[in-house]
Every structure is written in C-alpha cells, then in structure tokens.
Chains A and B, each alone.
Chain A
Amino acid sequence: MADVDLLNLLADFCSFDALAIVVVGGGSPKVRASWPANHSGLKCDDSTKAKRNELLVAAGGSGKNILSAEANIDTGLAVRIHGSRSTPHDFPLEWIERAMETLARMIALQLDADVARRRVEEVNTRMTGLVDLSLALGQELSLSDLLHRIVESARQMLGARYAALGVLEEIGAGLGQIVTAGLSPEEQKAIGGLPQGHGILGALMRDAQAIRLDHLANDLRSTGYPQHHPPMDSFLGVPIVIHGKILGSLYLTDKVSGPFTVEDEQVAVAFALHAAVAIESVRLFAAEHGRAVMLEHVQEISNAIHATTSTQQALDVLCTKLGEKLDVDRVIAKVGDAEQKLLLAAQWHHASVKGLPEDLVPYIGPLAEELWRSSDRLAIDDFLASDAKFQRDQIFHGYSDARAVMIVPIGVRDRVIGIIYVIKVDQPRRWTDADLEVVQRVVAVIARGIEDAEYRANQSEHIERLERLERMQSEFVATVSHELRTPLTSITGYLELLKDGFVGKLTKEQQQMLEVMDRNSNRLQALIENLLVINRSTGDFTDFDEVEVSMAELVTSCCQELALVAKNGRVKLEVEPGPQNAIVHGVKEQINSVITNIVSNAIKFSRPGAVVSVKCALDSGGGRVRFSCEDHGIGIPIDDQKQLFDRFFRASNATHQLIPGTGLGLSIVKQIVHDHGGQVRLASVEGQGTTVVIDLPWKKIE
C-alpha cells in the first residue's frame, strides 16, 4: 500500500486535516509523503513547532493541534509523522499517538527493508559486475584497453563521477600511464598529461594504504587537484599492489549518492587487484617475449659475426645488425691497442641521419676503461633531461646530435680493447634490459673473436720465429763448421807434406817440432768437432712433445754424428744399437742430447787408439732399456766421482789436462734421465777408464 493511502486512512480514522511523514537519516530531513498535498521528496525542517506548522499548512491543513510520533531504526533512520486538526481531537490522545506511532514504525521497517533490499541488489549487481569484468579480462586485450575497462567499470559500479587509474613506470618513480573515466574528451585534453605525485596521490603511493575522504579539500595532505580538472569532493583511493610491490593506484571521486562507504572501499580493492594481475601478467609476458626476441637477435648477430673473415668486417657487421635490430639511429664501434690508440673503427647510421666523420674521436677514452673495470655499462635515456646534459659533452666531444645512448665497453679478461655506442638521435629512448643485454652479449662475441685472432696471430708469429731460429741455427752450424775447417785444412795438409818428406829431408829437431804442431792441430780439430756437436745438442730445446723413441735408432744416429769426432781423436767407436723394440717414451731431443753428451765425453777423455763401446740393450723382465758407454780413457778420480753430476763441477784431472768443457753436461744428463723416470750410474778407475750406464723405463709396444 502506498504511503499516501496509509495517510488517507489515518486521516479518516483520526480526523486529521493534514499529515506528513518525515524521514531523517543520512542527510537532512525529507518529506516522505504528505496528505492531502503530497510533497514527497521535499527537504524540510521539522525541528520546531513553528516549522511543523508550516509543513502541515503547506500540505493543505490548518497547522493547528499538531500531534507527532516517531519511530527509530538501528541504522540511524528515524521516521516522524506529524498531523494537524482544525479542532482539538475528541479521541483520547494516547490512542491517536499510538496509532501514529504504529504507522511510523511500519514505515520505518519498510524503509529498513527497502534499504536492505537495495543493499542486496547493489551487492548482487557488484558481484555480477565483477564477474563480468573477470571474464572480460580473460580475453585478449591490450593493457591499455584492460585498464580502461577496469576504470570505467569501477566508476559505474561505485557511482562515482570521475575515476582514474595510474600505473607507475617500471623503472623510475613517476607515473608512466594514466587512464581516466568520466571526463569528457575536452576536459581530458585540457588537463593534459600525468599528475605529479603530490598531495593525496603521493600519500597513496607512498603509504600503500587506502584513503577514503568525504571532503578532499579538508584533508591536510591535499594540495588541490590538477589544473582544468572539475572540482572534486569525496575521494576514494586504493593502491594497486601485487606481491608486496606497488604498481600504481586507482581512485574515484565524487560519488553521486553520498560519501564512499567501507563496502565501496572493498569493491575498489577488488578492482585494484584485477588491475594488478592484469598489469603484472602483461609485463611478465612482455619481459619473456622481449627476452626471447633478444636471444634470437643475439643468435642472428653472432652468426653473422662468425661468418666474417676479418676484425674490421666483424665490426662493420656488428654495427649494422645492432642498428637494425634495436631500431636506433647510429652505432659506433671502436677497437684500440694497449695504449688506447685507435686501431679499428666502424659505424652504421640509419638512412635518415648523416654519417659521422671518421676522425671524430681518435681514441678509446677513459670511459671505456672505467666501465670495463666496474663491469658496468651506461644507458642514458634522454640527454635533454635535467642532469644528463653535462654528460653528453663529457662523452662526445663535439658531436651533439645524440639524444639517447647506450655505451658498452669491449673487453677481454682484464683489459679493455674498445667501446661501442648505440645512439638515438633527436628522440629519447627508454633502454630496456633486453636492449642492454643484446649489446652486451654480442660485444662478448666480438671480444672473444678479437682475442682469438690475436692469439692465432701470436701463435703463428711465434712458430715462425722458432722455425726461423731453427733454420738459422742449422745454417750457422753448417757455415761455422765449414769456416773453421778451411784454414785447418791448410795447416794439417802442409804439415802432412812436410812430415812425409815431400819437400826435403827433415832434421830430428824439425821432425819433433812438426810432431808438436801435428798433435795440436789434431786437438784443434777435435775441439771444433766436439763444440759443434755439443752446441747442437745441449742448447735450448724447442720441442717438448713426448713420443715413442727408438733407442736403437737414436744410438745409431748419435754415434754416426760423432764418428768424425772419434776419427779425429783417433778413437774407435764400437756401437751395438740393440733391438728394435727397445722403445722409450719421452722427449726425443733430450734423450738424444744425453747420449751425445755421454759418448762425446767418452771420446774426449780417451787416448788416441783407444776404443769406446756404446751399447744399448733391452731388459724386458726388468721393464727397462739399458744404455751403456765404456771408455778406456783417463778415468775419474774417486774423490771426484760423487760430485760429478753436480752443476759446474769438473773432475780435477780433466781441468788439469786442459780438456775443455763447461761442466754443465753431466748435470743436464742427470736432470733429463730423472725427468724420464730413469737412473744414471757411473763407474770409473783413474787412468783406466769410465763406464756410464743409463736405465730408462721400457715402453712396451703391443
């Protein structure tokens, strides 16, 4: 039944000439219904008798003999009924008041139920709205569209006049993006860009707590609102948080039907969560995708670099590919030597910008060194932004059209060999982690390539030098032997003629003198041969490869070489090379030198006409190859035998007889034999001869 009808009934029943129902709560008192004239919805004031009189007169009554009743409900609502009668009531007043009270209570309960029903409806609508939104978010939309959806739904659902959603930049602290709802396009345009983080918004982001205000202007933190924005009164702001990280904020202003409630705040939080999930997943996806694309780029560029055949070519390819892939305007790469002087440079530029002169910066610069040492790189998004201006002059001397740059040093291990600049001209550029990573990775590829090239060049240079030295050495030996032997030929030759009596008979004295000359020229000859052979074999070894060495072969060749020496010393060399399978695993040059040393010593210390026996045998049971050299020469005094293998020691009788030698030979022999896992022993009797025995581990070949 309508309220007016109820009033009609009451009026009839109690003979009222006017009635009014006033509802108080949630604002100023309002007329709910009045009779006979229905002023439903009118604002009124029933606080004083006079006011009530006015009210009832306005409703068409007399305004006299006013009776009132009131009913309250828990929610703060109050319902009051006022009635007037031209003449005093003839019923008991309590009856009438009770009737009025009952009616008031009925209406109050009804109102309450209405409110409750509205609430439930509202919640249902919101639930439905949120579910719809969730479904919508599941569709493929761009982040921007998603945010628009969210902010508009929030605005509608909460009945706010304006709403906005701001997203913080990923790097940096300012807002990167803002979407609004409720503003007209003209208003949007007038307001322009992003709000600064002052006042309430700042507080919201900083404290990450929801802020709900009935009057924006009253809050201490408020600093007003953006220029050109329509005035705002009530305010509800919630932070957008995910995993404890603030991504931005959602705020609504000017709720039409009253102040924002706790329930509104909860709804806003739900919207914020949706927004958080949406933003985060879009970012994650972008990052993943970005990463995948980055890796692809790196692979492509690496392949291109590996296909080049020179460092210059590699640098050119690097610059071109980076320029294209990263969509920049210039790429400059420089590579220098140890003194930071420029060795190679390459540049690429987009067709729309001019190339830079070659000599722009003729050196690598200390920046590269600094960056390499601190394992860092430099990325400047906008030189025109505040403090970055000075940096441009510091980095580029005289070149000034760079707007944004990435600078990455090129280095190998502990030294920097170059630097690369990736430049955007005229426009700023937000360098992403992916961009930086691409550059760093391909720089590493180039650096490795340069290092390899250097190493190979070094190697081949080294090998060339060694080969040259070897050639020089054998040339030297051949030439020296010839040079020394030539004059000797004349000496020995003429001596022979004289001695043989071809140029006249000789006196005894003359003969004796010739003998002396003969003996000494023989010595000279022996020395020359000895020197040359030893020189070749105890010098610097150039080859340290361990191989299977045939002792039989080695003994044979050594003795062949020493045959001349032996012949000159009138010493007979008897050689038993031993079996073919006497193999030793070791450095051929070194073992060669050992044998040569021992045998040449034996020859050196032998008297003319004596025999030197060189033997090599295999002791398969004992797993060793035995090399022995026996001479019948001057021998070695017992006292000296112990020290014989010490460096620079020479047996006293050798020095006494003025037989030359450095004293190094035997110590080297001992070293080499031990290095090969063998043993060397010496037995000698002064005046009778010496035997040297060397045992080396046998390498059995299956």
Chain B
Amino acid sequence: MSEPVKTRILIADDDKDILDLLVFKLTQAGYEVVGVSDGVAALESIESNPPRLAILDYMMSGLSGLDVLRKVRANEETKDLDVILLTGRTGDSDVDAAFATGANDYITKPVSPRELLHRVNALLARGKK
C-alpha cells in the first residue's frame, strides 16, 4: 500500500555501513528514512521531526540506544513512539533491559534487512488498527 505521505522512520547506528544498508533497504520499501550516527542526533531528530518508528542501535558512544529510548518514553510528546532496538549483544539482561525500558521489539545482529523490513511493517500495521 503506498501512501501519499511517506511514513517517516528514523534509524540510528554508529556504523556507517550498517546505517547505509538499512537506510537503503527501507527507502527502497517506500519509507521516508532519516539516518543518524549517534544518540544525541537521534533524540534531536525525534523531537524536531517526529517519526512513526525509530530503529536504534543499542551500543553507540555517548547516548546509547537504551538511553535514547528512556528519554523518548519519559517525554510526554514522544512517549508513544514505536521503537525497535538493534544489537550485537545477546545477554539475557540486555533483552530484559530493552523491554523493561519500553522497546517494542528487539533484533540481534547480524540483522537480515529482509527480516527487519517485515518487523517494521508488522509494527506499523499494528499501530494503525
């Protein structure tokens, strides 16, 4: 289904290659994608130019994905943002922390772009109902 206004998605990852990869994939799928390289930029973008969904890498220097998520959920205006956390760590505690802080989903690296797209679509579709 294509919309007259493209749904905005924010992706934050400090690895340029991965960022380009994911931006490419989701743009190809028809979304308006904003890509940033760190947590601070992510937060700024979310606040100034609110997306429908944010994909945040867990580990970034400065503000981590988890920190950004926390701030997003604490802010009245942005608390309902859908967030998917992305990470290479597989500790149980990381998963628990992610969901406890309010992530909607969690994907481990190496992430299959195809799968990510499915998850994004599913999440956005849920929201619509």
Contact = CB atoms under 8 A, between A and B. Distances in A.
B113 A486 contact: no
Contacts of B94: 478
Interface in B75-129: 87-91, 94, 108-114
Interface stretch (B3-11, B17-25, B31-39, B40-48): B17-25
Contacts of B18: 486, 489-490, 493
A478 B89 CA distance: 6
Contact of A496 (B59, B87, B108, B114): B114
Given A493-B111, A494-B21, A478 B91 contact: yes
A502 B91 contact: no
A481 B112 contact: no
A489 B15 CA distance: 10
A489 B109 contact: yes
Contacts of B49: none
Instruction: Give the bracket for the number of chain B residues in contact with chain A.
Output: 20 to 34
A415 interface: no
B28 interface: yes
Interface string A476-490: 001001111111111
Contacts of A474: 91
B4 to A, nearest CB: 24
Contact of B108 (A490, A494, A500, A564): A564
A679 interface: no
A486 B25 contact: no
Contact of B21 (A483, A485, A493): A493
B19 to A, nearest CB: 10
Instruction: Give the bracket for the number of chain A residues in contact with chain B.
Output: 20 to 34
B114 A486 contact: no
A61 to B, nearest CB: 145
A502 B28 contact: yes
Contacts of B17: 487, 490, 494
Contact of A488 (B22, B109, B114): B109
A488 B109 CA distance: 8
A488 B17 CA distance: 11
Contact of A497 (B25, B59, B108): B25
Nearest to B57: A486
A606 interface: no
A387 B90 CA distance: 80
A481 B90 contact: yes
A10 B44 CA distance: 164
Contacts of A481: 88-90
A531 B45 CA distance: 39
Contact of B113 (A483, A485, A496): A496
Contacts of B88: 481-486, 489
A525 interface: yes
Contacts of A525: 110
Which 7 A-B residue pairs are closest in the complex by CB-CB distance? A482-B88, A485-B88, A489-B110, A490-B17, A485-B109, A493-B21, A489-B109
Interface of A: 474, 478, 481-494, 496-497, 500, 502, 525, 564
